[in-house]
Amino acid sequence: MTTQSLSELRGPFDVLVVGGGITGAGVARDAARRGLNVLLVEQSDLASGTSSRSSKLVHGGLRYLEQGELSLVFEAVAERRVLLDIAPHLVRPLPFLLPVFSDSRRGMFTINIGMWLYDGLSLFRSPKLHKSLSRKRVRAAEPDLRHDGLKGAQVYYDCATDDARLTLETVLDAVRYGATVLTHTRVERWLTENGRVTGCALKDQLTDEEVEVSCTVAVNATGPWSDTVRGDGDAVSDPRMRPTKGVHIVVNASRLKLSHAVCCMHPDDGRVFFTIPWGDQTYIGTTDTDFEGDPGHVYADLSDVDYLLKATNDYFPGQDITHEDVISTWAGVRPLVGDEEAENESSVSREHSLVREPNGVVTIAGGKLTTYRKMAEEVVDLVVTELDAKGTSVDGLQASETETDPLPGAVGWPERGGKKQIVSAVQDFSEGLINKVTAKHLVSVLGMRAIDLAERVAADPDAAAPLVQGRPEILGQVDWAVSVELARTVTDVMMRRTQLYYRDDEQGIAAVQVVAGRMANHLGWSEDEAAAQAAAYLEEVERSRRWRSELTD
Ligand code: FAD
């Protein structure tokens, strides 16, 4: 069940999960599937924090291999396999090219050994085994890559995903198993009895409605906010987070056309960054700098953009990518668990920490998008122990089977090579109103659920209209986002249900009024409310372009 009115909320809940990023989503899914009564509360939109601002890779992480974090790599490549199975529409194999130059830190031979280790840690079940390419074959594969000093390359396989949609579908599965989900609702403070948390006070950020709700166990899954939530809004004396900021920039693929993700080292500091093909776009990232401040207000600065452009032009010198080529950016805060020993930001561990606080709250922080499912399993095991200790019967709980059961868009997904038939089915179910390009787009974001959307379009032909001329996103996606995918604001739709904010040359500005109008019909907004919603999105776009104003200062 989902509810948008706090007055309809029925507690008490077995588990209150605070934070609707991938971590909270995973915990809610696992707990609901075991049969627990779950409430998930997110202060903004699902995945609006770090979980829509990652590098969008489901990967073991070659960097962690280099740092000797073998257990982390082992777990991550195992989870990569699981996610490929349970979300094949969202998690796709991606070839990575790791070029070797005459001045590279490591030569072809050493890297090849590392690649064997990487394949071995996945028990040779990576999407494909790595291979070595000669200089000539690298030049054929990626003609724009610098060839001065090029010796050859290794090609290996990891996966790419849509991080926001992976989070969303995880939540939708939790809802399917009975979880209650509140978005744009903040946990304002804990309710306690004898120093133990018994619930929390909630406030809907869009309606100002407030309510108190009780729970047996509370989970703090607020990523970079976790110290703030631990401290109930006040600073804690023992902060665990060492947050770092990571920025990505997006350019059109016509300016940087790639057939592999290319793994590069920054010429200034030797840090690894990627240039990643993304359909008609390419994104480049990431930076890694210490961060202080509100994780909800993090944007690219000019220095971040320049850092990424410098490295890109070093690797692709003929392309001459400039500030004008950058169509959008995103910045996220890594919820890294502090490590006083770490020499610099990039060497802070990506492992997670799971702590039962003195007030009984279970705090989960750190980790990676890739390992969220496994991390959630560990959290819910601890939650069950806590419930048991508090006298809640846990005897009838089920196995959660999150490892094998598909996410909603993957239910019925064909074993191999059947995507073409689904694309045709989408066109057929829409009675020809959806063209092939849009059908492909819908299948890649919704999986099998694209067929349900196509049926809606057949019933309401206006819904087939494109949101921006020449682009594949359609009006029907707005209806779908509101009625099925828990979207409540124009920004939710523009940024995370569609990716117009990132992918359109004008960040979807041409579609904003139409989106606001359509949402107003569904959500009963007045004209003023719709206008305020559109304005809020435009302000968000402006903030993301702030780095441009530094160019003229
Ligand atoms: P978040 O996604 O930040 O979720 C926490 C949520 O809690 C937020 O949505 C916030 O709004 C909510 N919240 C906070 N306070 C409250 C409150 N009082 N009430 C209600 N809700 C509240 N991992 C990978 O596996 N692959 C990658 O390629 C990768 N790349 C990355 C690149 C960058 C630049 C960054 C920053 C991270 C990357 N990661 C990657 C790591 C991964 O993205 C994070 O580990 C993961 O997204 C963290 O999820 P989370 O749910 O813990 O935090």
The CATH number of the domain holding residue 508 is 1.10.8.870
22: CA distance to ligand 1 center in Å? 7
Please state the atom number of ligand 1 nearest to the C-alpha of residue 187.
Answer: 19
Kindly state whether residues 254 and 169 are assigned to the same domain: no
Query: 89: burial class by Cβ within 10 Å (0-12, 13-18, 19+)?
Result: buried
The two structure tokens encoding residue 249? 């920039």
Kindly state whether residues 233 and 360 are assigned to the same domain: yes
Task: Indicate whether 340 pLDDT > 60.
Answer: no
C-beta of 57 in contact with ligand 1 (< 6 A): yes
44 belongs to a structural domain: yes
Residue 15 is inside which H or E element, if any? Answer: strand 13-18
Nearest-10 Cα torsion for 513, 517, 522, 524: 120
Provide the percentage of residues in the chain whose pLDDT is more than 90.
82
C-beta of 22 in contact with ligand 1 (< 6 A): yes
Task: Indicate whether 2 pLDDT > 80.
Answer: no
Please state the atom number of ligand 1 nearest to the C-alpha of residue 228.
Answer: 15
Residue 36 in contact with residue 178, Cβ under 8 Å?
no
pLDDT digits (tens, 9 = 90+) for 31-67: 999 999 999 999 999 999 999 999 999 998 887 888 8
C-beta of 81 in contact with ligand 1 (< 6 A): no
Residue 94 in contact with residue 159, Cβ under 8 Å?
yes
Please state the atom number of ligand 1 nearest to the C-alpha of residue 370.
Answer: 25
Which mutation among 163, 170, 248, 368 tests ligand 1's pocket best, with the greatest number of atoms within 8 A of CB? 368
Helix (H/G/I), strand (E/B), else coil: 76: helix
359 belongs to a structural domain: yes
C-beta of 187 in contact with ligand 1 (< 6 A): yes
354: CA distance to ligand 1 center in Å? 15
C-beta of 44 in contact with ligand 1 (< 6 A): yes
317 belongs to a structural domain: yes
Burial 385-414 (b: 16+ CB within 10 A, else e): ebbeeeeeebeebeebebbeebbbbbeebe
The DSSP code for 452 is H
Kindly state whether residues 505 and 365 are assigned to the same domain: no
Kindly state whether residues 184 and 253 are assigned to the same domain: no
Which band of pLDDT confidence, cut at 50, 70 and 90, is reported for residue 347?
very low
Q: What is the CATH number of the domain that holds 256?
A: 3.30.9.10
Kindly state whether residues 222 and 285 are assigned to the same domain: no
Residue type, 372: Y
C-beta of 243 in contact with ligand 1 (< 6 A): no
Residue 37 CA to residue 180 CA, distance in Å, equals 8
Kindly state whether residues 230 and 252 are assigned to the same domain: no
Kindly state whether residues 498 and 531 are assigned to the same domain: yes
CA-closest candidate to residue 468, choices 430, 502, 429, 445: 502
The two structure tokens encoding residue 256? 């940087």
C-beta of 43 in contact with ligand 1 (< 6 A): yes
Residue 454 in contact with residue 430, Cβ under 8 Å?
yes
Kindly state whether residues 226 and 353 are assigned to the same domain: yes
Kindly state whether residues 257 and 303 are assigned to the same domain: yes
Kindly state whether residues 475 and 544 are assigned to the same domain: yes
Kindly state whether residues 425 and 535 are assigned to the same domain: yes
C-beta of 287 in contact with ligand 1 (< 6 A): no
pLDDT digits (tens, 9 = 90+) for 222-258: 999 999 999 987 888 888 888 899 999 999 999 999 9
C-beta of 50 in contact with ligand 1 (< 6 A): yes
30: CA distance to ligand 1 center in Å? 18
C-beta of 227 in contact with ligand 1 (< 6 A): no
Kindly state whether residues 273 and 175 are assigned to the same domain: no
Can you name the residues that pair with 246 across neighbouring β-strands?
Answer: 332
C-beta of 53 in contact with ligand 1 (< 6 A): yes
Specify the residue for token string 């607020």: 222
Which band of pLDDT confidence, cut at 50, 70 and 90, is reported for residue 4?
low
272: CA distance to ligand 1 center in Å? 21
339 belongs to a structural domain: no
The DSSP code for 300 is -
**Mean pLDDT computed over 348-376:** 90
Residue 227 in contact with residue 52, Cβ under 8 Å?
no
The contacts of residue 387 (CB under 8 Å, 6+ apart) are 14, 15, 36, 216, 217, 394
The two structure tokens encoding residue 467? 């949101």
Residue type, 323: H
pLDDT reported for residue 337: 84
CA-closest candidate to residue 408, choices 478, 467, 501, 480: 480
Residue 96 in contact with residue 160, Cβ under 8 Å?
no
**Mean pLDDT computed over 343-350:** 50
Can you name the residues that pair with 214 across neighbouring β-strands?
Answer: 199
With helix as H, strand as E and coil as C, how does 366-413 read?
ECCCCCHHHHHHHHHHHHHHHHHHCCCCCCCCCCCCCCCCCCHHHCCC
Specify the residue for token string 């693929």: 253
69 belongs to a structural domain: no
73 belongs to a structural domain: no
C-beta of 49 in contact with ligand 1 (< 6 A): yes
Query: In angstroms, what CA-CA distances link 125 with 79, 131, 424, 441, 479?
Result: 11, 15, 31, 28, 39
Please state the atom number of ligand 1 nearest to the C-alpha of residue 369.
Answer: 25
Residue 185 CA to residue 46 CA, distance in Å, equals 11
Q: What is the CATH number of the domain that holds 183?
A: 3.50.50.60
Residue 375 CA to residue 169 CA, distance in Å, equals 17
Q: Please give the mean pLDDT across all residues of the chain.
A: 94
- Which domain covers residue 438, as residue numbers? 412-549
Residue 91 in contact with residue 159, Cβ under 8 Å?
yes
The two structure tokens encoding residue 287? 């930076």
Residue 246 is inside which H or E element, if any? Answer: strand 244-252
What is the CA 259 to chain-centroid distance, rounded? 23
**Mean pLDDT computed over 291-297:** 92
Which residue's C-alpha comes closest to atom 45 of ligand 1? 368
pLDDT digits (tens, 9 = 90+) for 109-163: 888 888 988 888 888 888 888 999 999 999 999 999 999 999 999 999 999 999 9
268 belongs to a structural domain: yes
C-beta of 23 in contact with ligand 1 (< 6 A): yes
146: CA distance to ligand 1 center in Å? 34
Number of domains in the chain: 3
46: CA distance to ligand 1 center in Å? 10
Which mutation among 6, 50, 226, 271 tests ligand 1's pocket best, with the greatest number of atoms within 8 A of CB? 50
Can you name the residues that pair with 244 across neighbouring β-strands?
Answer: 290, 334
Which residue's C-alpha comes closest to atom 33 of ligand 1? 54
Which band of pLDDT confidence, cut at 50, 70 and 90, is reported for residue 409?
very high
**Mean pLDDT computed over 339-343:** 53
248 belongs to a structural domain: yes
Pairing of the two strands 13-18 and 210-220: parallel
Tally Cβ neighbours within 10 Å of residue 529. Answer: 15
Please state the atom number of ligand 1 nearest to the C-alpha of residue 57.
Answer: 28
pTM for the model stands at 0.96
Residue 199 CA to residue 13 CA, distance in Å, equals 9
Residue 40 CA to residue 221 CA, distance in Å, equals 10
pLDDT digits (tens, 9 = 90+) for 535-549: 999 999 999 999 999
Radius of gyration of the chain (CA): 23
Residue 393 in contact with residue 37, Cβ under 8 Å?
no
